[in-house]
Amino acid sequence: MMIQLNADMESALKSIAEQTRRSPEDIVHDLIAQEFDVWQEPINPAVLEELDRRHAKFMETGSAVPWEKVRLWMDSWFTDEELPPPEPERCLDV
């Protein structure tokens, strides 16, 4: 199997490999194994219902908070200039 990484991810992976004295392949294998283990756990039906509800609302309104704005907001936490939570904006024409 082959995995394509963008230049930033490849550079970061190489840096982690050098710092930990492990091969990039071993690091990727461990990361995939950890994620795979998470998906083997039973999914709570209430969580699925909430995800379905949120998806239906998004499809109805076309509004969501873009990840970049969430990230900026979260990066401001515990600083002297904490930002207010971002507002949803139109992301999809419905």
Q: What is the pLDDT of residues 74-92, one digit of tens each?
A: 999 999 999 999 999 998 7
Angle between helices 7-20 and 24-39 (to 10 degrees): 100
Residue 1: per-residue pLDDT: 81
CA distance 66 to 90: 10
Q: What is the pLDDT of residues 35-76, one digit of tens each?
A: 887 778 788 899 999 999 999 999 999 999 999 999 999 999
Do 48 and 82 form a contact (C-beta atoms < 8 A)?
Answer: no
Q: Where are the alpha helices (DSSP H) in the chain?
A: 7-20, 24-39, 45-61, 67-75
